[in-house]
Structure 1
Amino acid sequence: MPEGSFPVSTESRTTAMRYRKIFSLGLAPLALLTASCSTAYEPLPPAPHVTASALTGEWRGPEGARFSLNKAGEFTAVRLRGQEMDFDDHWSLSGKGTWEVLDSYKGGRTVAEGNTVKLIIKNGKSGTAKVGQEQMDGSNTASTKQKKAPATYTWAVSVKKEGKNLRLYYVVGDPDSRWLCQFTHA
């Protein structure tokens, strides 16, 4: 192996040969589009099987957001941010609603395969939240445009297991730079 080179997997060689062929056919824009879209949504880890009783109690998240789930299927939220692109609308929602554990969610790539928690607030109280991930991590490049929260909102929340602990999370932000808004059991 020449100095300064690294071992390349067969899969990497095959991908490189495909792109060379595409470029040689004059299809460079298509190759660039394919390359940029292929990693926009990395698959989320499959959700473990959970029962409603395992999820009851208080959950805490970023920016002071929290919610509690009770055995009767009711929940109370404080400063819960919007999901996906709604996160960047700079609102938070507080109020009471209902929750349930669904066996599976088939709404796209924003929720993990497996058990999903559906949270619904009706007649919630709107609040202002931090601008976005950019302000949270200090880069401060986000827009300052703010919107009022809708009075009724539904979240599809994924479950993941870390050791013996469960975490609840939902995907927020632009699809090309999304991140997880995570909640720990208090």
Structure 2
Amino acid sequence: MAGGSGLRVWGTALGGVMVVLAVLTGCAGPFQYYEGTGLHDVTAAEVTGGWDNVEGTRVVLREDGTALLEKLDGQDFDFEDGWRLSGAGTWQLSDGDGGQVVRLALTSRTRVEQRSPLMVADTSTPEPPSTYAWRFYVDRDEHDEPKLFFFYGDPDVGNTYVMTRETGS
């Protein structure tokens, strides 16, 4: 009887550990640890130029590594603060194990706007940053043209903020 009791205690302890692990890993959505598109063949010339988003965002990546930003939202959880930044900055195309990314840095903020009040959940949002850095993943669309994107909001959801080549660029 003592052997059966020890087995039951062991089974209960193991079950408890499994529940704790399930709770801890349940919050890690598929995009929380996104490693990239695996793309390694895009050139800096292909990403140079103007980029748009359906929300009225415009980003211009210049050949000399400088950038102009207009109404660019924050990425990840910063998106929920509702600010949209405009100004000047720098950009760089880099390549890592997971694929290529465009690193964009706002160095001189010229304007801050808020998205529609209906989209901003909390009116006590922190002061928008005067400088900010984004990491755009580089991918290709169905026509083999480059596109840039980052994740916004809760990483468990996997919402993407997609920038497409500006018409005429």
TM-score range, shorter chain: 0.7 to 0.9
Superposition RMSD on alpha carbons, in Å? 2.7
Whole-angstrom CA distance in 1 between matches of 2:12 and 2:136: 40
In structure 2, the partner of 1:63 is 55
Q: Residue deviations 1:134-182, cap 9 Å, x none?
A: 84xxxx8x33443332111111111011132111011111222241111
Secondary structure in structure 2 of the residue aligned to 1:155: strand
State the TM-score, normalized to the length of structure 2.
0.76
Whole-angstrom CA distance in 1 between matches of 2:63 and 2:155: 34
Secondary structure in structure 2 of the residue aligned to 1:67: strand
The answer to whether structure 1 residue 170 and structure 2 residue 150 are counterparts is yes
Whole-angstrom CA distance in 1 between matches of 2:147 and 2:14: 48
Residues 1:34 and 1:22: Cα distance change in structure 2 (over 3 Å): farther
Whichever residue aligns with residue 92 of structure 1, its letter is R
Whole-angstrom CA distance in 2 between matches of 1:131 and 1:125: 20
Q: Does the CA-based 8 Å contact 1:22-1:28 persist in structure 2?
A: no
In structure 2, the partner of 1:98 is 90
Gaps of 5+ in 2: 1-10
Matched residues, number? 153
Whole-angstrom CA distance in 2 between matches of 1:150 and 1:91: 9
Deviation of 1:28 (Å): 5.4
State the TM-score, normalized to the length of structure 1.
0.70
Whichever residue aligns with residue 168 of structure 1, its letter is L
Deviation of 1:119 (Å): 0.8
Residues 1:28 and 1:185: Cα distance change in structure 2 (over 3 Å): same
Whichever residue aligns with residue 75 of structure 1, its letter is A
Q: Does the CA-based 8 Å contact 2:87-2:109 persist in structure 1?
A: yes
In structure 2, the partner of 1:32 is 22
Whole-angstrom CA distance in 1 between matches of 2:137 and 2:12: 38
The answer to whether structure 1 residue 185 and structure 2 residue 126 are counterparts is no
Whole-angstrom CA distance in 2 between matches of 1:32 and 1:123: 44
Which of the pair is proportionally richer in strand?
2
Secondary structure in structure 2 of the residue aligned to 1:33: helix
Whichever residue aligns with residue 61 of structure 1, its letter is N
Residues 1:70 and 1:86: Cα distance change in structure 2 (over 3 Å): same
Bigger Cα Rg: 2
Whole-angstrom CA distance in 1 between matches of 2:110 and 2:125: 15
Runs of 4+ aligned residues of structure 1 deviating over 6 Å after TM superposition are 21-24
Gaps of 5+ in 1: 1-20, 106-112
Whole-angstrom CA distance in 1 between matches of 2:28 and 2:105: 32
In structure 1, the partner of 2:79 is 87
Whole-angstrom CA distance in 1 between matches of 2:53 and 2:99: 22
Secondary structure in structure 2 of the residue aligned to 1:30: helix
In structure 2, the partner of 1:8 is none
Whole-angstrom CA distance in 2 between matches of 1:22 and 1:76: 59
